[in-house]
Amino acid sequence: MGRIAAVFKADEAETASRYSVSEWWLEPHTQGPGAHSHPEDDLFYVIEGVMSIRAGDEWHECPKGSFVLVPGGTVHDFENRGAVRAGVLNFSAPGPFEPAMPEIAAWFAEHPPQDATA
């Protein structure tokens, strides 16, 4: 997805569709998917760099080791405003999430990630 990569660590077949676990990597200064909401809960755990994560109306600067819970229905977003690659582990429940990836990848093909600014 351009400057964004995602790898599923646990998918619907492995979790009986109860949840999905994915790893998301954003290159430096890269916007994420944009503000959105969905009924599933999202848990984000920063595994590298500093990820800017929006939950509701607030942005949080989240260094490696940070944990953010975004309840279902809450507007959220994430982006990498820093100078080094950043990654998050995402837990989405209930699952599955990965069946939406072809549509998400197609959206990013039409709307490539822009530069993130602080």
Position 115 in a domain: no
Residue for token digits 């890269």?
Answer: 30
Position 17 in a domain: yes
Average pLDDT, the chain: 91
Position 30 in a domain: yes
**In which domain, by residue range, is 102 found?**
4-110
Position 118 in a domain: no
Position 51 in a domain: yes
Sheet-wide strand order for 58-63: 58-63, 50-55, 76-79
Give me the pLDDT at residue 115, please.
83
Write the pLDDT tens digit of every residue in 42-88: 999 999 999 999 999 999 999 999 999 999 999 999 999 999 999 99
Residue for token digits 């290159």?
Answer: 27
Position 117 in a domain: no
Give me the pLDDT at residue 118, please.
64
Position 25 in a domain: yes
Prediction pTM value: 0.88
Position 94 in a domain: yes
Percent of the chain whose pLDDT exceeds 90: 73
How many domains is the chain built from? 1
CATH of the domain at 84: 2.60.120.10
Cα 23 to Cα 47: distance, rounded to the nearest angstrom: 9
